A and B are shown apart, each in its own frame.
Chain A
């Protein structure tokens, strides 16, 4: 099983500032990585796939980068609606054994 590790567990950021979230895979997943946003009481929402491609309707302030085992989600200027928990998910190999990271909570500083 590929283990996904996210850091930090909690990130305190002021509105308007940049947030940088990390996700590390226990073995290479190439660019087969997605990011999701989850707000309290809601289902996750797909943000990024293919490590760097924004999903439909996702604002340009969200960007993803990385390949292999190290990935980053950057929110360039945090808006109030961006405070949430973010998860990475890998989808390498076939048949796939999909795994998620433990999440990073982005909170208001």
Chain B
């Protein structure tokens, strides 16, 4: 059974960089037809897609966050990571990593991590 687990600091200071890692177990991050994505959810609010990466390193990002986001992959560790720079209180959210089933006709998130709360505060 595929499992994803987010890890990283739960508290980040304003203007600093938020860094999270997602570890994939029970399957290979190098599987074809799958991207790997990050989605966030501010407390009590809806879902916002941040960006996605293929095992080759190909990425695509939410245009509204693109200037601050970097997603990378480490196939040797079966992990992918998120960096979000210049954070403010508005970036406080539960951050989820997820497997993205991506074909020419389908882009959906079929496996999710449990999520990790990141609070931006001094």
Contacts and interface: CB of A to CB of B under 8 A. Distances in A.
Chain A interface, DSSP helix/strand/loop, else mixed: loop
A100 B106 contact: no
Interface residues of B, number: 20
B107 interface: yes
B47 interface: yes
Contact of B105 (A1, A32, A103): A32
Interface in A68-109: 87, 89, 91, 95-103
Contacts, number: 54
Interface of B: 46-49, 60, 62-64, 96, 98, 105-110, 112-115
A96 B105 CA distance: 11
Contacts of A44: 47, 96, 109, 112
Given A32-B106, A50-B106, A89-B109, 4 more contacts: A43-B98, A89-B47, A91-B107, A96-B60
Contacts of B47: 36, 44, 87, 89, 100, 103
Max chain B CB contacts within 10 Å: which of A43, A49, A95, A103?
Answer: A43
B108 A89 contact: yes
A19 interface: no
B46 A95 contact: no
Contact of B106 (A43, A91, A102, A103): A91
A43 B60 contact: no
Interface of A: 1, 32, 34, 36, 42-46, 49-50, 55, 87, 89, 91, 95-103
Nearest to B50: A98
21 contacts: A1-B64, A32-B105, A36-B47, A42-B114, A43-B112, A43-B114, A43-B115, A44-B112, A46-B109, A49-B106, A49-B108, A50-B105, A96-B107, A97-B62, A97-B63, A98-B49, A98-B62, A98-B107, A100-B47, A101-B46, A103-B47
